[in-house]
């Protein structure tokens, strides 16, 4: 019943072997038969081979992905370059006042010459007059 003496209590040590602490796997391996140890070694070797094969496969995939990213980047750079060239060309064209006048004149002539407005109106009228008794996709 004297709590202040509890700090003086120590365990007895029975033998030097009981001092060693080991995990369940290391104790079982050290106490197992040679065939069990050999089987465990073979199992670990197979696991190691499988992991190495998987690592090689992943490295190959990584290299393939890197090549694909490089090709996509090159395509992107080429597209950006074409876009810049096109914008530069259009900017030069629209800075020329004579070009804008010719463009407007051409637009006016083409509409009148081709009769685009009339053709559009006819197409719209024709579409509205189509018979409604033709089967639709839902009725088929």
pLDDT for 28-53, tens place per residue? Answer: 445 567 888 888 999 999 999 999 99
Average pLDDT of the chain to the nearest whole number: 77
Q: What stretch of H or E contains 33?
A: none
Q: Give tens-digit pLDDT for 4-15.
A: 888 888 888 766
> Which residue did the predictor score with more confidence, 72 or 135?
72
Q: What stretch of H or E contains 49?
A: helix 34-95
Residue 40's CB is within 10 A of a number of other CB atoms, namely: 14
The Cα–Cα gap between 104 and 110 comes to 10
Is residue 127's pLDDT more than 60?
no
CA–CA–CA angle 39, 45, 50 (5° rounding): 130
The DSSP code for 14 is -
CA–CA–CA angle 80, 83, 89 (5° rounding): 145
How confident is residue 117, by pLDDT bands cut at 50, 70 and 90? low
Is residue 115's pLDDT more than 70?
no
Is residue 131's pLDDT more than 60?
no
What average pLDDT does the segment 103-127 reach? 64
Please report the pLDDT score of residue 35 as a whole number: 85
Angle, to 10 degrees, between the axis of helix 116-128 and the axis of helix 97-114? 50
54: left (phi over 0), alpha (psi -120 to 50) or beta: alpha
Is residue 135's pLDDT more than 80?
no
């Amino acid at each position: 019943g004297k709590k202040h003496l509890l700090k003086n209590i120590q365990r007895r040590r029975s033998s030097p072997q009981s001092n060693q602490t080991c995990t369940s796997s290391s104790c079982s391996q050290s106490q197992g038969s040679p065939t069990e140890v050999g089987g465990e070694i073979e199992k670990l070797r197979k696991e190691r081979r499988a992991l190495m094969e998987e690592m090689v496969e992943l490295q190959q995939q990584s290299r393939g992905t890197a090549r694909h990213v490089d090709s996509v980047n090159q395509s992107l750079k080429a597209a950006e370059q074409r876009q810049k060239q096109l914008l530069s060309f259009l900017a030069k064209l629209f800075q020329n006042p004579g070009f804008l006048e010719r463009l407007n004149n051409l637009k006016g002539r083409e509409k009148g010459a081709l009769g685009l407005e009339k053709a559009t109106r006819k197409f719209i009228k024709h579409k509205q007059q189509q018979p409604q008794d033709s089967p639709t996709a839902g009725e088929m």
